Amino acid sequence: MVDAAARQALAADPCAVVVLHTVAGSKTGLRLPSPDVAAALRAEFGERVVSVLDACQMRHHPTLIPRWLDTQGPVLMTSSKFFGGPSFGSGVFFPHAAGRIQTAWHVFRCIANPAFVDVNDVP
């Protein structure tokens, strides 16, 4: 379902960028869409597919975040009282690959609330 919707959006507009939002370790243990769906779409459409991992709940294996950054895209994080973090703290980790950073920054600018984040907040 996600695969078909992403393909339809990408085929309809050659300038479109699709952001896949994957939740890492939901309460039910599911991770959707799967990294395989994202990898297949990235293989076909390249940088037009940004695969974002929502790791905010920290219900995942410790190696997932570095693997995701190496192979997929940005990772969303929040602090947690369970880990001694401040309330309402958050961050986005971007991959080191320069092309992915440019695409990720473009996506971030599109979804970020300008009242809270501007170009001076992100390198």
pLDDT at 11: 92
What's the pTM value of the predicted model, to 2 decimals? Answer: 0.68
pLDDT at 8: 94
Mean pLDDT by 10 residues, the chain (123 residues): 89 88 73 79 87 79 84 80 67 68 58 58 57
The rounded distance, in Å, linking the Cα atoms of 54 and 59 is 10
pLDDT at 98: 47
Residues 120, 109 contacting (CB under 8 angstroms): no
Residues 31, 25 contacting (CB under 8 angstroms): yes
pLDDT at 118: 60
pLDDT at 26: 65
Distances (CA, A) of 95 to 4, 11, 17, 45, 52: 26, 26, 17, 18, 11
pLDDT at 119: 60
Which residues pair with residue 76 across a beta bridge? 54, 92
Token pair, residue 77, equals 């994080």
Q: In what order do the strands lie in the sheet with 49-54?
A: 18-23, 49-54, 75-78, 90-93
pLDDT at 110: 58
Distances (CA, A) of 2 to 13, 57, 123: 17, 22, 31
* Distant-in-sequence, close-in-space partners of 79: CB < 8 Å, separation ≥ 6: 85, 86, 87, 88, 89, 90
